[in-house]
Amino acid sequence: MKKLVIVESPKKAKEIAHFLGRDFLVKATVGHFKDLPEDKMGVDLKTFEPEFVIKSPKHKQILAEIKKLAENAEVYIATDPDREGYAIGYFMYEELKKKAKSIKRSEFHEITKNHVLQKIREAPEFERTNFGLFNAFLGRRVGDRIVGYILSPIASKEIGGRFSVGRVQSPAVHLIVEREMEIKNFTSTPYYILTAYVEKDGTLYTALYEKRKIENLEEVQSVYSQISLEKESTVKDISKRKIKRSPKPPFTTSTLQQTANFVLKFAPEKTMILAQDLFESGMITYHRTDSTRLSEQAVVSIRELIEKEFSKEYLPRSPRVYKSKNTQADAHEAIRITNFVNLAQYVKLAKEKGLSEDHINILKLVYYRTLASQMEDAIFERTNITLDIKGYNFIVSGSVVVFKGYKVIYEIEEEEEHLDQLPILKKGERLRIESISLEEKFTKPPSRYTEGSLIKKLEELGIGRPSTYATIIKTIKERGYVVKEGSSLKPTENAFHLVDYLNRKYHWVIDYGFTKRMEEFLDKVEDNKEDWKSFVKKLYEKSTSGEKSVVSKKMLDYALDLAKKHGKNIDKILDDPEKLKEFIDKHAEKSPSEKQVEYAKTLAEKTGLKLTDRELSDRTLLKKFIDKARREALYSYQLSEKQKNVLIKYGREDLLEKPAEALKFIRAKLSKKKK
C-alpha cells in the first residue's frame, strides 16, 4: 500500500518526493482547486453559507486522480502552514475522508530532508488539527465577497463608471489618496542653516551652528552679521562616546517585501513569487510569517557558520532571542536560510536547482539577514568638537568604526554613521576659519508611498496580513487606482472619486480602525474564540445599511460642466442624485465620437450587419450596435494555436469553444505578465 502526500505545488511535490522514497506518492492540487464561483455571489445571504465549486476542468481531473490514489491509503495533507494552505487541505480532507484509510496533517516550514521526514513522522490526525484556520479563511473569503459584490455595483452606478470596493484594498487606496492630499496641501516654509568651514593641517572640516534649523530670519541674520568676518575659532569642548548598533531581527514577510523593494526595486508580488520558489526548492523557510523567532537548532547552526566564516569575535556570548509582539506569530519561524554553508556554496546550490539571478538576489538578502541577526553589535566612536566663534557654539561631528560587528555582512537599508576621522585637538586650541555661510532651505512635503513603505504602513495600522500585502498592492494597481511613477505610487483620478464617495457614504470601508478590528476578529476566529459568521454578518449589515444615495464628485463635476455649457442653473438639485442624473441624461452629448463611428463601420464590414444613419447619429444607439456587432464577430472568431496553448497551460480548456470569454481571460493573463 502506497502512502499519499498532498501539497499545492508540482515543484514542491517533486522536491519532497526525493526525500520520501518509494513508499510514498506525492501529488499537487495546483493551488486552490475550489473557490467561490466567478460569475455570481456564491453565498446564501440568509445563512451566509458559501457555495464552493471546482475551479476548472484541469482541477476536476487532478481531484479525480487524487481520489483514486487515496482509496484505502494513508494520506498526509501537507499544504502550506497558513490559513490559505489549511483551507486547501481542509477541502481535500472533505473530499477524501470517506475513501482514505487515514488522513494526517503535516506542516512543512522548510523543504529539507530531515524536516520533511520529521514532520511526516509527527503528523497528527487531521481531525485533531485547528479547524479555526479554516473558519478564519471562510470569514475572510465570504466577507470579502459580500463587500465586493454588494458595494462595487452601487459605487459604480452612483459614481459613474467601473469601480470596485474591497474590505482591505479600499483602505490602502485611502492611504495613498490621503498622502497625495497632504502633498498637495503642503506649504513649504523657509529655514536657515549656518555653517563654518574650519581648517586644520590643510584639511577643511564642517562645523554647524548648534541650532541646526533656524526658522527666524532676524535671529540668524543677527548671528551671521556678528561672526561673518571672524577668522579664528577656539576649541571649547571635546566629547567622545561609544555608539552601539544592534542587528535587525530576521525577516518576516513584511520586512522581506520592504527590503526587496528598497534594495532591488522588486514589486511585492514579484518578491513573493521568488520567495515561494526558494521555499519550494528547499532554500529558505516558509515565506509567509509574522514571526521573528528562530528555532534553537537553527540558531546553533547559524552561530557555527558565523564562527567558521568570520571568527568567534563576531559571535555574542549568548544567542540573540527575537520575540514577536503577536504571540500567535511565534508558532512559526522567521524567514531564514535552510542550508548552513558559505554564500558561494549557497549560490552554487541555487544555480544547480535552476534558480534565476532574481531568485539569487532574494536568497542573498535572506542569507545576509539570517547571519547578521545572530552577530555582534557594530561599535562606533562618535566625537563632537564644540568650537567657540565670538561666543556662539558650532559643532564638528565625526565617527570612526571601532568594530564592524554584523555590518561586516549587512549594511543595507540602514541609516549610516557619518564616518569622518576628526583631527586630534586640545581644549583652547585655535582653528583658522576658511569661511562662514548662511544658507536658506525650504521644508519639503512628505514623499509618496513606495510599495515597500505602503506595506510598512499597512502593517503598522493592522490592515491585512503577511499573505495579503502583495495581493493588495497588485489589485489596486491592476484596477487602475494607482500608477507607479519611478518607485512611487501615485493615485489616479478614479482613486480620488472612490475615496470621496466612500468617505461620504460608506466611511466604515476606509476606516483604518474598523479594518484593524476586523483583522483582529479573524485572529480570534482562528483561535476558536469567535464565530466566522458573526464576522460576515457584521460586514453584510454594514454593506446593506440602505444609506441615502450621495452625489459623487465625478457626477457633480460632469453635471456642472454640462450646466455651464448649456447655460443652466442647477444649484437647487446639487444634493439630489436622481435629479442630477435626469439632468445629465437630458443634456449629455448625444452624438457619437469619430472614433466610435469608425469602429462601428469596421465592425459592420466584418459582420455584414446593417448600420443605419440613425445609429450613426445617436451615441446610445451606436453603442448598442457596437456591442451587438462585437458579439457577432466573436461567434466566427477562431482561436490561434498559441491562444489555445495559453488556455491549456492555465487549465481553462472549458474556454476553448468560448472565444469571447477565452480572449478576455488571455488578455488578463498577458497584462499581468507585462506588469
Give alpha helix (H) positions in 97-200.
113-121, 132-155, 169-185
How many whole angstroms from its chain centre is CA 19? 33
Of 286, 346, 392, 469, which residue is the catalytic one? 286
DSSP string, 337-368: BSS-S-HHHHHHHHHHTT--HHHHHHHHHHHH
Query: Is the dihedral angle over the CA atoms 116, 118, 120, 122 positive or is it negative?
Result: negative
State the cell numbers at 76: 498526509
| Three-state SS at 495 | helix
Find the Cα–Cα–Cα–Cα dihedral 594, 597, 603, 608, rounded to 10°.
-150
Do 425 and 203 meet the contact criterion of CB atoms below 8 Å apart? no
Task: Return phi, psi of residue 591, to 5°.
Answer: -80, 140
The CA-atom distances, in angstroms, between 205 and each of 196, 233, 416, 434, 645 are 8, 12, 19, 10, 67
Spatial distance between the Cα atoms of 624 and 621, rounded to a whole number of angstroms: 5
**86 is a catalytic site residue:** no
Task: Return phi, psi of residue 383, to 5°.
Answer: -115, 130
Q: Which residues does 369 contact at the CB level (< 8 Å), separation at least 6?
A: 248, 250, 251, 259, 410
Spatial distance between the Cα atoms of 455 and 462, rounded to a whole number of angstroms: 10
HSE toward the beta carbon, residue 303, CA cutoff 13 A? 17
Spatial distance between the Cα atoms of 178 and 250, rounded to a whole number of angstroms: 32
| Three-state SS at 418 | coil
Do 466 and 252 meet the contact criterion of CB atoms below 8 Å apart? yes
Place of cell 490559505: 84
Q: For 467-497, b where at least 16 C-beta lie within 10 A, e where not — what string?
A: bbbbebbbbbbebebbeeeeebbbbbebbbb
Strand partners, 196: 207, 436
| Three-state SS at 142 | helix
DSSP state of 429: -
Which positions are annotated as active-site residues?
286
